[in-house]
């Protein structure tokens, strides 16, 4: 039992998703999330750096960009909380290279390329500046957006983001070298197959995500310190990301805030592997996020 729990927690860093009830359905030839149909104001594809990137827009108000975790889709990471966030915000969510409905390119995945892809998508959508919420691998992508494209970032929420190799337990890296598709949580495999144009791409996505993590390199302190966007860092107290790493990030990013929430990796947004716990963390984490986004721009 202990081995299974450790494996599930480690796997969640790369392959994270949300609400199994949010199964998509086909409408006019396009796949859309059943639970959020009433909220979707626009969805489609945009040509970005040689790939066809899928995106969805929900609600009205100031733009908030959601960046999913590794091995995930829009709904599987954020399906539970999009209805909460879309009450007061215009939500822009996309699926990154080789994930979900977005096509692949003949290159390895990188957080830098994902950051450039997101920035290009926003340019295509004529969104000049936005707030960002990245979870897990999506949080690392959000850091790269703030480093590489600071002009488009207003505020930033980093959910369980990794920036240093020592930010996870040492055994994580040995685990990654042995990761196989057979051990990927079934919920994540099912979610990919439900929306991807070619279900055979699952193995490719898995292998590229694993390779990116095996070869992960520290983001230099100088780059992290260059981030000027007001930032909220969130982890769980039993997260894969260590509290020490979160504290280090909070100290490197000037004016940033840190919240440590009870639970495991992703539980605070209702990640799919945490749903059986019936936790209610999202009910107070989302108001906390909204409060952070709505704070005065005056720095302390």
What pTM was estimated for this model as a whole? 0.88
CA 173 to chain centre: 20
Q: How confident is the model at residue 39 (pLDDT cuts 50, 70, 90)?
A: low
Nearest to 133 by CA among 191, 81, 205: 81
Segment 142-147 shows an average pLDDT of 98
Please report the pLDDT score of residue 33 as a whole number: 40
Q: What is the mean pLDDT of the chain?
A: 87
Please report the pLDDT score of residue 188 as a whole number: 86
Please report the pLDDT score of residue 226 as a whole number: 98
Which residues have a Cβ under 8 Å from the Cβ of 233 and sit 6 or more positions away? Answer: 158, 161, 246, 249, 250, 253, 256, 257, 258, 259
Please report the pLDDT score of residue 204 as a whole number: 96
Q: What percent of the chain is predicted at pLDDT more than 70?
A: 83
In the predicted model, is pLDDT for residue 85 greater than 90?
yes
In the predicted model, is pLDDT for residue 15 greater than 70?
no
Rounded to a whole number of angstroms, the CA Rg of the chain reads 17
In the predicted model, is pLDDT for residue 268 greater than 70?
yes
In the predicted model, is pLDDT for residue 196 greater than 70?
yes
Please report the pLDDT score of residue 280 as a whole number: 81
The DSSP line for 51-96 is EEEEEEEESSSSEEEEE--TT--HHHHHTTTHHHHTTTSEEEEE--
CA 202 to chain centre: 18
Per CATH, which fold does 2-294 belong to?
A: Rossmann fold (3.40.50)
Query: For 146-188, what is each residue's pLDDT tens digit?
Result: 999 999 999 999 999 999 999 999 999 999 999 999 988 888 8
Cα angle 57, 61, 62; round to 5? 90
Q: Worst-scoring range by mean pLDDT, 40-44, 122-126, 212-216?
A: 40-44
Please report the pLDDT score of residue 270 as a whole number: 83
Q: Worst-scoring range by mean pLDDT, 22-26, 44-48, 128-132?
A: 22-26
Beta bridge partners of 258: 233
The DSSP line for 117-176 is HHHHHHHHTT---EEEEEETHHHHHHHHHHHH-GGGEEEEEEES---SGGGS-THHHHHH
Q: Among 23-27, 34-38, 272-276, name the most confident range.
A: 272-276
Domain range list for the chain: 2-294
Q: Worst-scoring range by mean pLDDT, 98-102, 113-117, 213-217, 296-300?
A: 296-300
Count other C-beta atoms under 10 Å from residue 170's C-beta.
8
Segment 213-218 shows an average pLDDT of 98
Please report the pLDDT score of residue 243 as a whole number: 98
Query: For 235-258, what is each residue's pLDDT tens digit?
Result: 999 999 999 999 999 999 999 999
SS3 28: coil
CB 231 within 8 A of CB 256: yes
Segment 117-137 shows an average pLDDT of 98
Please report the pLDDT score of residue 37 as a whole number: 54
Please report the pLDDT score of residue 6 as a whole number: 38
List phi, psi (to 5°) of 125: -85, 0
In the predicted model, is pLDDT for residue 18 greater than 50?
no
Nearest to 72 by CA among 269, 236, 238: 269
Please report the pLDDT score of residue 49 as a whole number: 94
Cα angle 80, 83, 88; round to 5? 140
């Amino acid at each position: 039992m202990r081995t299974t729990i450790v494996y599930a927690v480690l796997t969640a860093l790369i392959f994270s998703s949300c609400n199994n009830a949010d199964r998509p359905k086909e409408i006019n030839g396009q796949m859309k999330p059943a639970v959020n149909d009433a909220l979707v104001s626009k969805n489609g594809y945009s040509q970005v750096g040689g790939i066809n990137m899928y995106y969805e827009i929900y609600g009205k108000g100031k733009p908030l960009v959601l960046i999913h975790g590794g091995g995930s889709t829009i709904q599987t990471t954020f399906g539970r909380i999009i209805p909460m966030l879309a009450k007061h915000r215009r939500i822009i969510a996309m699926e990154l290279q080789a994930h979900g409905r977005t096509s692949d390119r003949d290159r390895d995945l990188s957080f830098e390329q994902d950051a450039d892809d997101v920035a290009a998508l926003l340019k295509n959508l004529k969104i000049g500046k936005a707030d960002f919420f990245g979870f897990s691998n999506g949080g690392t992508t959000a850091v790269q957006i703030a480093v590489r494209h600071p002009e488009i970032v207003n505020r930033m929420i980093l959910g369980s983001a990794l920036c240093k190799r020592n930010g996870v337990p040492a055994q994580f890296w040995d685990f990654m070298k042995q990761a196989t598709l057979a051990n990927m949580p079934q919920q994540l495999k099912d979610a990919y197959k439900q929306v991807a144009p070619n279900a055979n791409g699952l193995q490719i996505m898995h292998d590229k995500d694993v390779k990116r993590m095996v070869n992960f390199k520290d983001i230099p302190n100088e780059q992290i310190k260059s981030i000027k966007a007001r930032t909220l860092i969130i982890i769980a107290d039993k997260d894969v990301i260590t509290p020490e790493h979160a504290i280090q990030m909070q100290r490197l990013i000037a004016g940033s805030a840190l919240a440590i929430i009870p639970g495991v990796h992703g539980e605070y947004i209702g990640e799919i592997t945490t749903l059986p716990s019936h936790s209610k963390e999202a009910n107070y984490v989302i108001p906390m996020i909204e409060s952070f986004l709505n704070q005065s721009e005056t720095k302390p």
